[in-house]
């Protein structure tokens, strides 16, 4: 008896699989035509479908949600204004966003779901780890891919991939340049998370640029994710003749580091990376952050009218202030729009060709793209003054 | 001489294996399935290998192992390092390099199985569970700091060799080898240790040797699954192999029924597909997934299932003593 039922179960399972694949078949026929890019995609109903990939669940969920919401604000804005004029037709934009859990394993399935839906350009991935697993697949499909916030260098190695944000190394180099040339300091200490690719990437580039510019790294102290006690690292730094501390870390770590440094009686100034955005809400005493300078692509208190319009719309819609990821998502949609207008067509090959010829004035600065897929745009320095973020003009 | 391996029963099984392969091939090569569905076949296969191999330690040996992802990581990194090396510095054809990579991954993982097994398997029950948990974390931390593995930034540029054919072949090899292993003399010894280790010892079984054997075999196949995993993603990060991954595999094993290989296979298929088929639920996806897990677990230990089993409407699981702390 037992064996018979085993067979019944396995047959049933086989049946389910077959049904599942056939059920998929129905949706595929409508969806895949666009994804092949071989025909006049998206002309039927006058929409251009953008696929989004980012974490909506899990530890990195806040990044993915911000990008998605920022992109939605941009799409609503564009559609309300009539859509995008592509050649002799006007298209509405539509966003399909799938959860990749910031996981290299899940992202393939999520991406293929989007391809089944027939996306014509990919806004993603939000995180580097997931994106690296996907790079060769999007290249094989020849689809235009723009990552709003993935900063790993290899993400744009293929000609179909572009990036809106700074790379990790570029941030490190910019900050090194600021420390040596603008502040005129020579001896620096670094605190970084060596279990995190973002932190290590920025720290390494910073260190080599400092050396190149004639400075000296007197201490390079590491910690690992979820550390809460930085006294060992800070005491070591206190024993050196460092003039400034560079901490390329996320805001929670930055809050601990600055607070504990102040408790140790250290008065050295801090410089940070864009992970510092949001640090003011994490410290008990805002004085510990006084004078700290960090890079950020976006600054919500920027008096610029475009930024303020975005902040207002975003707050209306989601009841919270936008962060840099939301701005990245917003700008990426406008980059896709500009590429569509420039190309006058919706084929991925034409869009990729158009990418290097566009200039977009976005919330994160005016940006152009080079043939390597990297953005050219200015950095925004932010200084914490009197417990507030203020824009800092450098040079 | 026994009946040999060419019995009618085995030939039917072989035919079934080939038939399933033909079905999968038609689905993959033809235009019958969505890309989404096609991309899930390899993860399903990898999860099957992981679950079936963990079942050896958890189901048949009866020891809770929380370090399976550690063995998987060791296999994944060593296999990937080899294929990257082979691709750049030698003229070995790709598929041969991949095959060697898979075997290397399995063997290195198995070696670590011995290294960790010898001191650790003197422990039992929850003590052993915690040590294996620590082992998994140690592997992850070491991989994080080594420069040859790319550290926290991950090992990228791994050639994307894994496809459904390789995966299917190794799923079948794993299932056949392990199903025969548990039926063999050694397999029965291992089950006897689970059922009563004192009784097993009293009839002259060297308990720790057999425990190590089970551990090493499980580690080998975890390593193989790791290599397939790495060559499917083309990037490996230490974060892929944290204890959550071990728990994930354990969930598959427990859900499928400890000590049941078909159970592990079915459960690996269901648990890989479930979160993906719930994509339509967008924000509620992971919530529904967890809920489904709870419901399935409740069903598994409920009276309804018991009655279904008794009336013969449901496949029976081998009756096992529950995993419990037997360390005292």
Question: pLDDT (tens digit, 9 = 90+) per residue, B113-137?
Answer: 998 888 877 787 888 889 999 999 9
Helix (H) or strand (E) holding A341: helix A324-343
Instruction: Verify that B22 and B49 share a domain, yes or no.
Output: no
ipTM: 0.80
DSSP B319: P
CB-CB: which of A20, A113, A194 is closest to B152? A194
User: Could you say which residues from 29 to 88 on chain A have a Cβ atom under 8 Å away from some Cβ of chain B?
Assistant: 31-32, 56-57
Per the rule left: phi > 0, alpha: psi between -120 and 50, beta: everything else, B282 is left
Residue B145 to residue A25, Cβ atoms within 8 A:
no
Question: What chain A residue is nearest to B310 in terms of C-alpha separation?
Answer: A2
Confidence of residue A30 (pLDDT cuts 50, 70, 90): very low
Q: What are B200's strand-pairing partners?
A: none
Picking from B195, B226, B259, the residue at the C-terminal end of a domain is: B259
What is the rounded CA–CA span in Å between residue A116 and residue A97?
A: 13
Domain extent at residue A365 = 40-165+304-378
Q: What are A159's strand-pairing partners?
A: none
Picking from B230, B259, B288, the residue at the C-terminal end of a domain is: B259
A21 found inside a domain: no
> Distance (Å) from the C-alpha of residue A150 to the closest C-alpha of chain B?
13
CB-CB: which of B39, B151, B269 is closest to A200? B151
Which residue has better confidence, B267 or A10? B267
A231 touches chain B (CB under 8 A): no
What is the rounded CA–CA span in Å between residue A297 and residue A392?
A: 12
B39 touches chain A (CB under 8 A): yes
Residue B36 to residue A113, Cβ atoms within 8 A:
yes
| Cβ-contact B121, B210 below 8 angstroms | no
B296 found inside a domain: no
| Cβ-contact A377, A335 below 8 angstroms | no
What is the gyration radius of the CA atoms in chain B, in angstroms? 20
> Distance (Å) from the C-alpha of residue B219 to the closest C-alpha of chain A?
21
Question: What chain A residue is nearest to B151 in terms of C-alpha separation?
Answer: A195
Question: pLDDT (tens digit, 9 = 90+) per residue, B173-199?
Answer: 999 999 999 999 999 999 999 999 899
Which of A106, A154, A117, A158 lies closest to A136 in space, CA to CA? A158
Regarding pTM above 0.90, the answer is no
Instruction: Verify that A126 and A46 share a domain, yes or no.
Output: yes
Q: How far is CA A146 from the centre of its chain?
A: 10
Instruction: Verify that A99 and A150 share a domain, yes or no.
Output: yes
Instruction: Verify that B137 and B46 share a domain, yes or no.
Output: yes
A3 touches chain B (CB under 8 A): no
First to last CA, chain A: 83
- Domain count for chain A, please give it: 2
Q: What is the mean pLDDT of residues A107-129?
A: 91
- Domain count for chain B, please give it: 2
What is the rounded CA–CA span in Å between residue A358 and residue A348?
A: 15
Residue B312 to residue A5, Cβ atoms within 8 A:
yes
Residue A195 to residue B279, Cβ atoms within 8 A:
no
DSSP code string of A14-28: HHHHHHHHHHHHHHH
- pLDDT of the residue at A45: 60
Which residue has better confidence, A212 or B145? A212
Helix (H) or strand (E) holding A246: strand A244-247
Residue whose token pair is 């920022």: A70
Domain extent at residue B18 = 1-32
pLDDT at A13 over 70: no
Residue A132 to residue B154, Cβ atoms within 8 A:
yes
- Enumerate the residues of chain A whose CB falls inside 8 A of the CB of residue B32: 21-22, 25
Q: What count of other Cβ atoms lies within 10 Å of the Cβ of residue B119?
A: 9
Instruction: Verify that B155 and B174 share a domain, yes or no.
Output: yes
User: Could you say which residues from 103 to 142 on chain B have a Cβ atom under 8 Å away from some Cβ of chain A?
Assistant: 141
User: Could you say which residues from 256 to 285 on chain B have a Cβ atom under 8 Å away from some Cβ of chain A?
Assistant: 262, 266, 269, 273, 276-277, 279, 282-283, 285
B284 found inside a domain: no
Mean pLDDT of chain A: 85
| Cβ-contact B113, B120 below 8 angstroms | no
Instruction: Verify that A46 and A143 share a domain, yes or no.
Output: yes
Picking from A296, A312, A347, the residue at the C-terminal end of a domain is: A296
What is the rounded CA–CA span in Å between residue A46 and residue A93?
A: 9
Q: In chain A, helix, strand, coil percent, each to 5?
A: 50, 20, 30
| Cβ-contact B121, A168 below 8 angstroms | no
What is the rounded CA–CA span in Å between residue A245 and residue A271?
A: 6
Q: What is the mean pLDDT of residues B66-77?
A: 95
């Amino acid at each position: 008896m037992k064996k018979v039922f085993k067979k019944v179960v396995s047959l049933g399972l086989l049946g389910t699989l077959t049904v599942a694949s056939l059920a998929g078949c129905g949706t595929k026929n409508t969806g895949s035509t666009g994804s092949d890019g071989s025909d006049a995609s998206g002309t039927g109903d006058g929409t251009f479908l953008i696929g989004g990939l980012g974490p909506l669940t899990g530890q990195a969920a806040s990044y993915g949600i911000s990008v998605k919401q920022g992109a939605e604000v941009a799409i609503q804005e564009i559609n309300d204004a009539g859509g995008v004029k592509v050649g002799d037709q006007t298209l509405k934009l539509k966003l399909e966003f799938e959860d990749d859990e910031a996981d290299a394993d899940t992202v393939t399935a999520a991406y293929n779901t989007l391809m089944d839906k027939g996306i014509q350009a990919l806004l993603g991935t939000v995180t580097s780890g997931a994106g690296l697993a996907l790079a060769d697949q999007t290249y094989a499909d020849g689809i235009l891919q723009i990552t709003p916030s993935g900063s790993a260098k290899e993400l744009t190695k293929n000609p179909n991939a572009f990036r809106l944000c700074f790379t990790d190394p570029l941030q490190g180099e910019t900050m090194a340049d600021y420390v040596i040339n603008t502040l005129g300091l020579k001896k620096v200490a670094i605190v970084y998370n060596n279990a995190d690719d973002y932190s290590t990437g920025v720290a390494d580039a910073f260190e080599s640029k400092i050396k190149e510019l004639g400075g000296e790294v007197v201490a390079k102290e590491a910690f690992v994710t979820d550390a809460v006690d930085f006294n060992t690292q800070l005491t070591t730094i206190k024993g050196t003749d460092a003039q400034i501390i560079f901490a390329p870390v996320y805001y929670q770590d930055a809050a601990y580091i600055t607070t504990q440094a102040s408790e140790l009686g250290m008065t050295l100034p801090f410089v940070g990376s864009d992970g510092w955005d949001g640090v003011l809400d994490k410290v008990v005493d805002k004085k510990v952050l006084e004078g700290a300078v960090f890079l950020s692509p976006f600054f919500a208190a920027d008096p610029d009218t475009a930024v303020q319009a975005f902040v207002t719309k975003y707050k209306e819609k989601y009841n919270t202030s936008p962060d840099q990821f939301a701005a990245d998502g917003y700008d990426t949609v406008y980059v896709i729009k500009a590429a569509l207008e420039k190309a006058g067509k919706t084929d991925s090959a034409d869009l990729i060709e158009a990418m290097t010829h566009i200039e977009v004035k976005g919330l994160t600065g005016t940006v152009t793209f080079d043939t390597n897929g990297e953005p050219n745009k200015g950095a925004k320095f932010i200084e914490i003054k009197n417990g507030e973020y203020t824009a800092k003009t450098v040079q | 001489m026994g009946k040999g391996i060419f019995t009618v029963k085995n030939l039917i099984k072989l035919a079934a294996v080939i038939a399933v392969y033909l079905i999968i091939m038609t689905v993959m090569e033809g235009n019958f399935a969505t890309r989404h569905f096609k991309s899930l076949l390899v993860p399903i296969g990898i999860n099957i290998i992981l679950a079936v191999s963990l079942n050896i330690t958890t189901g048949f040996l009866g020891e809770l192992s929380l370090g399976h992802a550690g063995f998987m990581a060791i296999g994944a990194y060593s296999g990937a390092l080899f294929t990257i090396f082979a691709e750049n510095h030698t003229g070995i054809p790709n598929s041969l390099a991949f095959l060697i990579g898979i075997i290397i991954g399995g063997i290195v993982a198995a070696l670590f199985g011995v290294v960790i097994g010898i001191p650790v398997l003197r422990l039992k029950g929850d003590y052993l569970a915690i040590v294996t948990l620590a082992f998994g974390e140690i592997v992850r931390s070491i991989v994080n700091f080594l420069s040859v593995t790319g550290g926290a930034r991950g090992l990228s540029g791994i050639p994307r060799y894994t496809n459904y054919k390789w995966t299917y072949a190794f799923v079948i090899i794993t299932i056949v080898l392990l199903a025969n292993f548990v039926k063999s003399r050694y397999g029965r010894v291992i089950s006897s240790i689970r059922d009563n280790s004192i009784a097993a010892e009293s009839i002259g079984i060297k308990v720790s040797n057999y425990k190590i054997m089970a551990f090493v075999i499980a580690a080998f196949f975890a390593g193989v699954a790791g290599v397939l995993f790495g060559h499917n993603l083309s990037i490996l990060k230490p974060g892929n192999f944290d204890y959550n991954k071990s728990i994930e595999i354990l969930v598959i094993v427990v859900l499928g029924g400890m000590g049941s290989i078909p159970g592990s296979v079915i459960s690996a298929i269901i648990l890989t597909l479930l979160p993906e088929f719930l994509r339509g639920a967008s924000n509620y996806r992971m919530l529904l997934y967890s809920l489904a897990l709870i419901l399935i677990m409740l069903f598994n230990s409920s009276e309804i299932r018991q009655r279904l089993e008794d009336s013969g409407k449901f496949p029976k699981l081998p009756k096992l003593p529950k995993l419990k702390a037997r360390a005292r």
